Amino acid sequence: MRTVIVVGASLAGLHAVRELRAQGFDGRLVVIGAEPHMPYDRPPLSKSFLKGPASGPGPKASMADGAIAAPTADVTGPAPTAPTADVTGPPPTADATGPALTLAATGTAPAAATAPGAAATALGADATGTPPTADAVRTPGTPGPSTSTAPASDTTDEPTLALADADELADLDAEWLLGTPASGLDTGSRAVLLADGRAVIGDGVVIATGAAARSLPGPPLAGVHTLRTLDDARALRTALTSGPRRVVVIGGGFIGAETASSCVTLGHDVTVVEAAPLPLVPQLGPDMAVFCADLHRRGGARLLTGTGVAGLRPGLRSATRTASAWTASASTPDGRVAAVELADGRLLPADVVIVGIGAYPNTAWLEHTWLDGGRGELRGGVPCDQGCVTALPEVVAVGDVARVGGVRAEHWTSATEQPRVAVRNLLAARTVETANALPYFWSDQYGSRLQFAGHRPTEATVRVEEGGLAPDDDGFLAVYEYEGRPTAVLAVDRPRAFMRARRELRARLAAAL
Amino acid sequence: MIPVCRLDDLPAGASARLDTTPPIAVFNADGALYAIDDTCSHQDASLSEGWLEGCQIECPLHAASFDLRTGEPTCLPARRPVRTHRVSVVEGMVHVHVTDAPSIPAEAGAAAGEGSAA
């Protein structure tokens, strides 16, 4: 295998790159990222990042761009408008992929750069209002600024989101094509097609395109946010810095709860709307869902359950009389959200609306390929065997986008653990190992830390083994049991008990295999 | 030099947490005492609540692991070390001698800026 393409500059994508090098792959490595940023950690975005010290706009944000900006140099040539001729031929050697893939390893941004690589500089300009500088683009292969481009004293929490530092990136020796979503996979010619018309050819592909936040139907309105990407988080953070706001969070899942909690901490008036009678029932079951509903109320947010959202209402611009004498006889929508209308007819006034209604796997680029099976199977993620291998042995999938052994999990730990197995199987050209890690996730809300591990069949019963559910109990450890055997554990503010229980579960799982 | 607790109250396998800024964790690893900064250098979690095995402490949140002797991370997701501090026992009392060196910038941000991420 000479060239491996990792599609998705994500947590899972970066781990795939790490594993490829760690497992001895010394060929060419190309990483394609839809976002302009180098891989960063998403969990803090709804928590510490939202509440972080750098919540104001201004120069502080710019160093963050330096820290997570694309370290690769720009594409040297203009992007061709069509895939190179090579895509229809046999897999070429690394040097024969055409000008589209020739990446220059220089540390400066060409003045005329218009290709996606320039996105990193444009981003810097966005945040600072100043022209992009060469410093905003760094190259792993060259000794660029070893830390960020801003003075060390001017710290923000944003650089800590970066998942890899310059030294590691240099060691990994991958080419990063950022700001360029993949648009297709030509399995015949083994090419990953890019949205701008280019193509990357390789003999192995790791799919790590993750998931995207669902949004509500209807025209976009200012003041309505989702929270999935760094850019989402920056926009929301800015919206939350201009004084107390009436915030309505749609969806009582983990993102909704964490975001609501952060908004309460920031002093906003927060209402959480959950269509189901209780939040988090699918994840934690009804008994523990009652506890989570209480967390909202104890934490200072209003929780409205059992009612869906009918739609978002814009504000109205009243008639304006001007010197030029145009008058509007009626008010017109101002394009900004003013209220959330519930299914029962109630109107919740809102300055900021956060839509946290789940995510869908980024598989649109794989439709009509072999992986689709021609039956729209991709809506539930890329189908893989238990070893993360797709219908094609030279294509593996990891992280939020992968349906491994029939299960798609949006867990941080899946994204970090699956790549080892996936890469091993990719390099072996068949499934030689399966991913059997015990599912694990955590959530921080209203000053409590929830940790969950294991599988929870819907018929499982749950029993509090340590502590209690009351506010003054200091948290608890609960064990889910099915057919007389523990299958999952949930802890609230009991990290030590949780670690022990998680290890016991893991050992039980290993013994059962 | 900060008193922590009596040595009798810190048996093998136990840990203690000092509410300093940033907080410090003290461990009794099979009879040897170690002190490190308590906040994981990856994300906000208390290492004193981690899983102690030999001289390795595993973070309770994301399973990053640190060597108590050096403060160096021994596996991902942590990439930055935590500070180590000297420990002494005077008349049965455990003391920590806080290292002067500033903590890692990102770590200081996590401890002072973010507070509890929870």
Domain edges within chain A: 3-52+161-210+362-428, 214-358, 447-512
pLDDT of residue B53: 95
CATH superfamily of A214-358: FAD/NAD(P)-binding domain (3.50.50.60)
pLDDT of residue A368: 82
Alpha-carbon distance of A340 to A347, in angstroms, equals 6
CA distance B96 to chain A (A): 23
Which tokens is A283 given? 């994840």
Burial-class residue A471 by CB neighbours within 10 Å (0-12, 13-18, 19+). Answer: exposed
Q: Residues near A303 by Cβ (< 8 Å), separated by ≥ 6?
A: A252, A271, A272, A274, A279, A293, A296, A297
Strands B65-67 and B73-75: antiparallel
pLDDT of residue A512: 82
Interface of A with B (CB under 8 A): 18, 41, 43-44, 47-48, 51-53, 152, 155-157, 159-160, 163-165, 168, 412-413, 416, 442, 444-449, 451, 495-496, 498-499, 503
Q: Do domains A3-52+161-210+362-428 and A214-358 have the same CATH topology?
A: yes
CA distance B118 to chain A (A): 4
Determine the 3-state secondary structure of A273 from DSSP.
Answer: strand
Residue A251: name the closest of A296, A211, A221, A219 by CA: A296
Of B49, B110, B114, the CB nearest to A496: B49
pLDDT of residue A438: 93
Alpha-carbon distance of B24 to B21, in angstroms, equals 8
Strand order in the sheet with A246-250: A224-225, A352-355, A246-250, A269-274, A302-305
The crossing angle, in degrees rounded to 10, of helices A11-22 and A412-428 is: 40
Residue B31: name the closest of B65, B68, B66 by CA: B68
User: Are B73 and B41 in contact, with CB atoms under 8 Å apart?
Assistant: yes
What sign does the dihedral A265-A269-A275-A276 (CA atoms) show? positive
CATH superfamily of A3-52+161-210+362-428: FAD/NAD(P)-binding domain (3.50.50.60)
Strand order in the sheet with A440-445: A440-445, A448-454, A485-492, A476-482, A461-467
Verify whether the Cβ–Cβ distance A52 to B46 is below 8 Å. Answer: no
Alpha-carbon distance of A310 to A302, in angstroms, equals 19
Of A52, A445, A446, the CB nearest to B113: A52
Q: Specify the DSSP class assigned to residue A173.
A: T
- In chain A, which residues have pLDDT < 50? 54-67, 70-156
Residue A312: name the closest of A354, A276, A277, A270 by CA: A354
Average pLDDT, chain B: 87
pLDDT of residue B104: 57
Verify whether the Cβ–Cβ distance A160 to B118 is below 8 Å. Answer: no
Residue A390: name the closest of A379, A400, A378 by CA: A378
Strands A269-274 and A246-250: parallel
Q: Is the peptide bond before A71 cis (omega within 30 degrees of 0)?
A: no
Q: In one letter, which amino acid is A12?
A: A
Alpha-carbon distance of A202 to A503, in angstroms, equals 40
User: Are B60 and A496 in contact, with CB atoms under 8 Å apart?
Assistant: yes
Determine the 3-state secondary structure of B2 from DSSP.
Answer: strand
Length of chain A: 513
Q: Which residue of A has its CA nearest to B107?
A: A160
Verify whether the Cβ–Cβ distance B62 to A412 is below 8 Å. Answer: yes
Point out which residues pair with B16 in neighbouring strands. B26
Q: What is the DSSP string of A352-382?
A: EEEE---EEE--GGGTTSGGGTTTTGGGG-E
Instruction: Please give the distance of CA B62 from its chain centroid, rounded to a whole number.
Output: 16
Element containing residue A503 per DSSP (H, E): helix A495-512
Q: What are the DSSP E strand ranges found in chain B?
A: 2-6, 15-18, 24-29, 32-37, 51-53, 56-58, 65-67, 73-75, 84-90, 93-97
Which tokens is A4 given? 């491996």
Q: Residues near A194 by Cβ (< 8 Å), separated by ≥ 6?
A: A32, A177, A180, A181, A182, A183, A200
Strand order in the sheet with A395-397: A175-178, A28-33, A3-7, A204-207, A395-397
Point out which residues pair with A309 in neighbouring strands. A342
Indicate the Cα dihedral angle A37, A45, A339, A306, nearest 10°. 130
User: Are A269 and A84 in contact, with CB atoms under 8 Å apart?
Assistant: no
φ, ψ (nearest 5 deg) of residue A239? -65, -25
Q: Residues near B72 by Cβ (< 8 Å), separated by ≥ 6?
A: B66, B81
pLDDT of residue A111: 33
pLDDT of residue A308: 94
Ordered by start, the domain boundaries in chain B are 2-97
Of A52, A496, A499, the CB nearest to B114: A52
Which tokens is A88 given? 């229809």
Alpha-carbon distance of A206 to B12, in angstroms, equals 45
Q: Which residues on chain B are in Cβ contact (under 8 Å) with A48? A: 43-44, 110, 114, 117
Q: In one letter, which amino acid is A27?
A: G
Verify whether the Cβ–Cβ distance A449 to B58 is below 8 Å. Answer: no
Verify whether the Cβ–Cβ distance B116 to A41 is below 8 Å. Answer: no
User: Are A98 and A85 in contact, with CB atoms under 8 Å apart?
Assistant: yes
CA distance B91 to chain A (A): 30
Rg (CA), chain B: 13
Alpha-carbon distance of A85 to A49, in angstroms, equals 45
Verify whether the Cβ–Cβ distance A496 to B45 is below 8 Å. Answer: no
Q: Nearest 5°: CA angle at B60, between A284 and A409?
A: 40
User: Are B89 and B26 in contact, with CB atoms under 8 Å apart?
Assistant: no
Verify whether the Cβ–Cβ distance B114 to A412 is below 8 Å. Answer: no
Which tokens is A447 given? 């000053």
Residue B49 in contact with partner chain A when CB distance is under 8 A: yes
For domain B2-97, give its CATH number from 3.40.190.10, 2.102.10.10, 1.20.58.1610, 3.40.50.2000. Answer: 2.102.10.10
- In chain B, which residues have pLDDT < 70? 103-118
